[in-house]
Amino acid sequence: MYSKYNFSGIEEHLEHVSTCPLCGGQKHSQLYSFQPFEVVRCTHCSLGYLSPRLTEEAIMAHYRDPGYFEGSGGYGYEDYRLQEAGLRLSFQRFLRILAKKSLTGGSLLEIGCGPGLFLDEAREYFSHRVGTEFSADIAQQALKFADKMIVGGLEHLDETDCFDVIIAINVIEHVYEPISFLTSICNHLRAGGMVILVTPDLDGLWRRLFRSRWPSFKIPEHIIYFNTTTLRQLGTETGLKEMDFFGFTQIFPLSLILDKLYIRNAPSLFQRLLIPVPYTMICSVLRHID
Ligand SMILES: [Zn+2]
């Protein structure tokens, strides 16, 4: 989380964002300050975004570092491996919901798949599973869970690679140009295919409750903050049809929840206690219009 980082010497990598990354509006109001960063809200479309923020070049260096997933890179997951059991249970629950809504089957692309746990859990739901990941080392780990792994972003896919479902979990909040990102996704979607975006809800219960201490204010990595209105607008701008919005339940070790609440020195036994936390994120399902 933000408070753990030392931001000294990063001023040269900061940039101010003069127009809203979603609607291009120039007016915003301040929501929270995380010096030297600020979360602001677009007056026109209600998108939350970070300004100033780190340049994309500066943050990309962290995403390519395998330490990002172990918390040793300064930014990133506290301990991805410790959370594995909770993540797998969260994904199993999520996949059961997707299957019930007839959103599974065919070929799957996961953008930013990390070590590939979702792809592994999705094995029985999709006949072909492909992942993309910026870190070459982490992509190598994920290969055992996928039919194919791509190191880098969507631009590294073959032009002709198309999928029935493209999913991005905890990704869109990191994206500097969300409209062009979603447009690139659409270029790899089969006719009638679906995009599933899972992202923290800026106007959800947990942000209202915790305000500036909301754990999804992962500063400086999370640069845009959506709600259902702005996710709907993102879909419309890209020519996608809104299908469904529903809450995403995450299952965390209790020790991690306490850590997010600034309660330190929890007994190590707590790390094995897994607690479901409902509606930590919104899942938006957008369909390609034939
Ligand atoms: Zn806007």
Taking only the tens place, the pLDDT of each residue in 26-63 is 999 999 999 999 999 999 999 999 999 999 998 888 77
Containing structural domain, residue 129: 2-288
Measured CA to CA, the distance from residue 145 to residue 172 in angstroms comes to 23
Q: Where do we find the tokens 């209790």?
A: 254
Neighbouring residues of 239: CB distance < 8 A, sequence distance ≥ 6:
186, 288, 289
Measured CA to CA, the distance from residue 169 to residue 131 in angstroms comes to 12
Q: For residue range 232-284, what is the model confidence (pLDDT) as tens digits? A: 999 999 999 988 999 999 998 887 788 777 777 777 776 678 889 999 999 99
Tally of structural domains, the chain: 1
**Greatest extent of the chain over all pairs of C-alpha atoms, in Å:** 54
Q: How far is the CA of 109 from the centre of ligand 1 (A)?
A: 29
Q: How far is the CA of 121 from the centre of ligand 1 (A)?
A: 36
Asked if 272 and 190 touch (Cβ cutoff 8 Å), the reply is no
Q: How far is the CA of 39 from the centre of ligand 1 (A)?
A: 13
DSSP state of 150: E
Q: For residue range 150-196, what is the model confidence (pLDDT) as tens digits? A: 999 999 999 999 999 999 999 999 999 999 999 999 999 999 899 99
Q: Average pLDDT, stretch 190-208? A: 95
Query: In the predicted model, what is the mean pLDDT of the chain?
Result: 89
Q: How far is the CA of 176 from the centre of ligand 1 (A)?
A: 14
Q: What is the CATH number of the domain that holds 170?
A: 3.40.50.150
Beta bridge partners of 165: 108, 194
* pTM listed for this prediction: 0.91
Q: How far is the CA of 189 from the centre of ligand 1 (A)?
A: 26
